[in-house]
Amino acid sequence: MPQITLRIEQELYDSIEEKKGDKDRSTFLRDVIIAYFASQKNEVVSQEKTVDSQESANASQEITNVTQLHYENEYLKKKLEDLTALHENAFTLHSQEKQDLSNKLDRAMQLVSQEQSINMSMQKQLMPTPQEITKKSWWQFW
């Protein structure tokens, strides 16, 4: 897709930022340019309409409508492609997050199992042997 770079005054930049809302700046400016050219075609057609007779006025109005519908159709196709790409991206991210979460859960379960086995072996090592239990009375510590 070709690219256009231009310099503008700070006031115009602030106005664009204010008007674009949540839209991406490139998308917003592309929509503005498309709307401008559609309105220019409407003006050209309306100027021709005043010169021509009623028949040519109806024909030019139909051409304007068709042209405008064509621009709107192209715009909607681009938006649909963008939405499809975003949907696919969101689905991919969701799958990756689900896989990451599953991997983390498996790792956590392994760590818990290791901790439990270490804890059991430590308890076995700390317990007195059966000979020590029967040999000493409860008041004999050493």
State the number of CA atoms in the 13 A half-sphere of 82 facing the CB.
9
* All structural domains of the chain with their residue ranges: 8-92
Amino acid sitting at position 19: K
Complete DSSP assignment for 51-118: HS-HHHHHHHHHHHHHHHHHHHHHHHHHHHHHHHHHHHHHHHHHHHHHHHHHHHHHHHHHHHHHHHHH
Q: Convert the pLDDT of each residue in 40-86 to its tens digit.
A: 777 666 666 665 566 666 777 788 888 888 888 989 999 999 999 99
Q: Convert the pLDDT of each residue in 11-37 to its tens digit.
A: 988 888 888 888 888 888 888 888 888
pLDDT for 114 equals: 94
Overall pTM > 0.75: no
Cβ atoms within 10 A of the Cβ of 70, count? 11
C-alpha–C-alpha distance, residues 32 and 39, integer Å: 10
30 exposure class (CB count in 10 Å sphere: 0-12, 13-18, 19+): middle
Structure tokens at 96: 């990756």
Is the CB of residue 48 less than 8 Å from the CB of residue 33?
A: no
